[in-house]
Amino acid sequence: MSWVQCINAIGGIEIGQDRKVETKLPAQPPRKEQLNAKTKVPQLLWDYMQHFDCTPSPEKPVRAAQGLFGYSSFDAVQHFETISFKNEKGLNSIPLVRYRLYQYVIVINHFKDDLYICENKIAGVESEVTAVESLIRSRDVPVYPFKSKNEETSNLTDEEYIDIVKKGIQSCHRGDVFQIVLSRRFQQSFTGDEFNVYRALRNINPSPYLFFFDYGDYKLMGSSPESQLIIKGGSAVVHPIAGTFKRTGEDSLDQEMAEKLLADPKENAEHVMLVDLARNDLSRLCDNVSVNYYRKIQYYSHVIHLVSEVTGTVREQTNPFELLAVTFPAGTLSGAPKFKAMELIDSFEPTQRGYYGGCIGFMGFDGTCNHAIMIRSFLSRDNTLFYQAGAGVVAASKPESELQEVNNKLGALKKAIVAAADIS
């Protein structure tokens, strides 16, 4: 297991809510331009990466520095597909897309207790690696307390969420969609250092993807169980997660719940549809698409999930951002058919999703990709934590059960907020 920390952004590309693109190359001033209807954003992102002449390193830790770190929010799909959202409420005012090149990337191999400082050496950028080494050796690390302020609020009451679930069920019966993922946002004001929430979350809900991105005026942090897309060695991989039961806290009972989950018609119908959608998405730019494993039980801190793995061989000369775009957003965060489901989500949900359901991770200069879906995650902005979860709605859904599924998925996040107050 490796841990990565990035220091000193020296370049990057981002797309704002105003459809303006800002690009910055190392040791050069930033440039801004307006997107037009003909701009192909995946190609724009990949073209930016072509400014860097980088020989892939044979050393795995060094390869972790040879690329961009960043995210694409859920609403960025408007720049990947022809869809346009009408709902402009609840904008968090963070960029839709943001990727950065960092001068230093620190990689820690926890298994071997090894630490690597990787530096991207670029003409015109002064090296300060000795200062980085000094910071690492320093034991003077201040810790600031965290405290919740006022009561938690939501963009929907329980009754209002049940109402939009009923609309989703009606849409399934009409044949508009086979499945739709409807979500609910919560927010919690706080004082102090939200990094303590992340520290608590890592302990409470260890997951394949643990991340904390500090952009100054806002932060993204989470413990996501699900990959958006992995590209490595010419292969693309996605892991659809659909089908959720709550854990009981007792191993024997959890095993019984897992067996019930495997036998549940509604949960399995949802999973089958989303595996098929993942296969279709990959097939747009991959050959030899197959399901490596199917309906595998995986246990997390508060829930039990059904998980499958879908793989494909990436076609030659494929732009990895284009492959990311055709799988985006994940069907497990939208529904099927995806386009119609997103239109209905825009109509039913009272606020834009923003970061929730987007993806975050690394894109290598060599075309490698490792992105997580931003679920079980927080946006911190203006001393407020935003967090969100959804449930997959099908024709056989029971509204109260979908409400409970949302609460189950948020269990680890809410527990982390409480636990963060005790960290000192």
pLDDT for the residue numbered 92: 62
Cα separation values, 130 from 63, 102, 133, 411, Å = 21, 16, 5, 43
pTM, to two decimals: 0.92
Beta bridge partners of 183: 390
Higher pLDDT, 207 or 97: 97
Quickly state the pLDDT bin for 165 (edges 50, 70, 90). very high
Residue 82 burial (CB count, 10 A)? 7
Q: What is the pLDDT of residues 20-65, one digit of tens each?
A: 999 999 989 999 999 988 889 999 999 999 999 888 778 887 888 8
Q: Looking at the 3D structure of the chain, how many domains does it have?
A: 1
In the chain, pLDDT over 70 holds for what percent of residues?
Answer: 98
Quickly state the pLDDT bin for 230 (edges 50, 70, 90). very high
Do residues 23 and 101 touch, judged by C-beta distance below 8 A? no
Higher pLDDT, 290 or 273: 290
DSSP code, position 337: S
Residues serving a catalytic function are: 305, 332, 356, 376, 392
Evaluate if residue 91 carries a pLDDT over 70.
Answer: no
Q: What is the pLDDT of residues 100-115, one digit of tens each?
A: 999 999 988 878 888 8
Q: What angle do CA 237, 239, 245 make, to 5 degrees?
A: 175
Cα separation values, 337 from 238, 283, 310, Å = 18, 15, 18
Cα separation values, 73 from 97, 203, 226, 325, 339, Å = 6, 26, 16, 12, 16
Do residues 349 and 393 touch, judged by C-beta distance below 8 A? no
Rg (CA), the chain: 21
Evaluate if residue 84 carries a pLDDT over 90.
Answer: no
Cα separation values, 27 from 11, 65, 364, Å = 8, 18, 21
Number of H helices, E strands in the chain: 10, 20
CATH of the domain at 21: 3.60.120.10
| CA-based nearest residue to 392, from 310, 333, 323 | 333
Residue 162 burial (CB count, 10 A)? 15
State phi, psi for 335 to the nearest 5 degrees.
Answer: 140, -165
Q: For residue 367, what are its two tokens? A: 């075309």
Evaluate if residue 1 carries a pLDDT over 60.
Answer: no
Evaluate if residue 350 carries a pLDDT over 80.
Answer: yes
Q: Could you tell me the residue range of the domain that residue 296 belongs to? A: 2-420
Q: For residue 338, what are its two tokens? A: 């995806």
